[in-house]
Amino acid sequence: MNVDDLRNALAHRREYGWSVPGLDAVSAEDGHVVIRVEVTLDLVNAAKTLHGGAAATLIDIVDTLAIITADEHNRFGVSTDLNVSWFAPIPLGDHAIVDARVLKTGRSLAFVTADIRRASDDTLCVQGRMTKALGPVPS
């Protein structure tokens, strides 16, 4: 998957069962995907910063895209666990940069990590790790 393929996947995101508006492809290569998204009113909490649930959703989505780039069968799998740590806020109007890297893929599991940074100053704001069950290899 290259960045154009990633842009196409983001344009047809509803087909994958998720929808977060405003996701913009920055880069895509085998096992590594970077997405940029503006923190809008749809993504904030009462304090007008990136909502924790929105951050977890971004990690799940971008980690999944990274897995698709790494898996020779383009399987996206099913999340089996998701661990998220929050370090700093991203305010309304700033951008979040989600950088996901596949740590390992195997026959049935994939392990991924993602950092979410505040675009205005490159501060690490959220970090997540996820495991996905990939399911059977298509025949």
What are the tens digits of pLDDT across the range 41-56?
999 999 999 999 999 9
| Residues 42 and 25: beta-carbon distance below 8 Å | no
Residue 85, both tokens: 């740590």
- pTM (global) more than 0.75: yes
The better pLDDT of the pair 13, 37 is held by 37
pLDDT at 75 over 90: no
Q: Which residues of 16-27 are buried (b: 16+ CB within 10 A; e: fewer)?
A: eeeebeebebee
